[in-house]
Amino acid sequence: MKQDFGTLPDGRKASLYTIENENVILKVSDYGAALVSLIDKKTGLDVHQGYDGVQGYLDYCPAHIGVCIGRTANRIGKGTFILNGETYHLVCNNNGNSLHSNDCFNTKIWAALESENEIVFRYTSPDGDAGFPGVLYVKVTYHLLPHGISISCDGTADKDTLLAFTQHSYFNLDQSNDALHHQLQINASQYAPTDADGLTLDQLDDVAGTPFDFRHFKEVGKEIHADNEQLRFGNGYDHYFAIPGKGMRDMCTAKGEKLLLTMRSDYPGMHLYTSNFLNGEKGKYGMKYAARSALCFEAEYMPNAINYEDVEEKPIVHAGETMHHEIEYIFKSL
């Protein structure tokens, strides 16, 4: 089902699309290919933050709630990288670094094609978009699963370029004002620390004996206020976790009062963000999204991997080839 979602300042219309099966209702917008609502029909809970119309996404753009991120998610140090011997300069929009590609994907209207079980969005990113080389053709597919959704991204370019797509979902499994009571388990024994500006460093540290140890279920808020330099840098958790293995695999599982959510992906790892910098954004159902009211599980490449020689998996899509990655969110009733 397609319906009006508001008007952009230049007069273009945004649309909201709704599809559902026996267990899940999914609502997405062609603005930013955004995930707007994800409703578990058994409990009636809408577990994903979002806005009532496109104006919310315009007003609160820096929060990136539910939008698709690209060409590259997270930070690139000093907005600079070298590819095939050529140096490229991006817009620096976060403490001297480039964050989320300066809104390359998430502020665009995507072409949409709706069917019974999925919605396909397409966008062509022009050569030089946000400073990246090559024309990039991107397809993002939201597909209903029996008890959740999958989000896949396919990217093809006419010259070598970067693509490190992610979905910037904000989850609260209880549709409540605080997510710190959620229980969280992450299948990672190592995480990447950051510098004081939030840039992921070229190192992986053991989680053992630190507040970053989520190998077993732990309340998210249990150690978030610990006397820890890394938590001070990010005002909470804002860190990449390396997930062992290859291909589709469980990365993390969160538990609320009635629902359990598992995130699966084929990316090298995931970034945990505890919505530390939300500031009362006016969302759906009259809610205001305060800091730490949601959890983000951003499946992605290691941030700034393009600039770290020893990081093997880099977000490079070669000319004429197609890069494919997938993220799944699976629900289970408790």
What is the pLDDT confidence band of residue 139, given thresholds at 50, 70 and 90? very high
Q: Given this model, what pLDDT does residue 32 score?
A: 97
Q: Which of 251, 226, 248 is nearest to 236 (CA)?
A: 226
Average pLDDT, stretch 11-29? 98
For 153, residues 6+ apart whose C-beta sits below 8 A from its C-beta are: 68, 70, 138, 139, 140, 141, 163, 165, 323, 324, 325, 326
213: exposed, middle or buried (C-beta count within 10 Å: 0-12, 13-18, 19+)? middle
DSSP state of 180: T
pLDDT in tens, 277-304: 999 999 999 999 999 999 999 999 999 9
Position 103 scores a pLDDT of 83
Prediction pTM value? 0.96
The pLDDT tens digits of the residues spanning 239-258 come to 999 999 999 999 999 999 99
Could you confirm whether domain 2-333 is CATH 2.70.98.10? yes
The per-residue pLDDT for 197 is 95
What's the rounded Cα separation, in Å, for the pair 182 and 195? 27
Cβ–Cβ < 8 Å for 14, 30? yes
- Does the pLDDT of residue 102 top 90, yes or no? no
CA 108-112-113 angle, 5° bins: 170
Domain ranges of the chain: 2-333
- pLDDT of 112: 98
Mean pLDDT of 125-149: 97
Residue 241, SS3 per DSSP: strand
Q: Mind giving me the DSSP string for 210-229?
A: STT--SS-EETTSSTTSS-H
Q: What is the mean pLDDT of residues 42-60?
A: 97
- 176-220: pLDDT as tens digits: 999 999 999 999 999 999 999 999 999 999 999 999 999 999 999
Residue type, 20: E
What is the DSSP pairing of strand 259-265 with strand 249-255?
A: antiparallel
Structure confidence at residue 169 (pLDDT)? 96
Which value, in Å, is the radius of gyration of the alpha carbons in the chain?
Answer: 19
Measured distance CA(175)–CA(5) in Å, rounded: 22
Sole residue written with tokens 């053991």:
206
Considering the chain, what percentage of its residues have pLDDT values greater than 90?
98
At position 212, the amino acid (one-letter code) is F
Tokens for 167, please give them.
């979905």
- Strand, helix or coil for residue 118: strand
Pairing of the two strands 166-167 and 238-242? unpaired
pLDDT of residue 145: 98
Which helix (H) or strand (E) covers residue 56, if one does?
helix 54-59
Q: What is the pLDDT of residue 34?
A: 98
Confidence (pLDDT) at 3 = 97
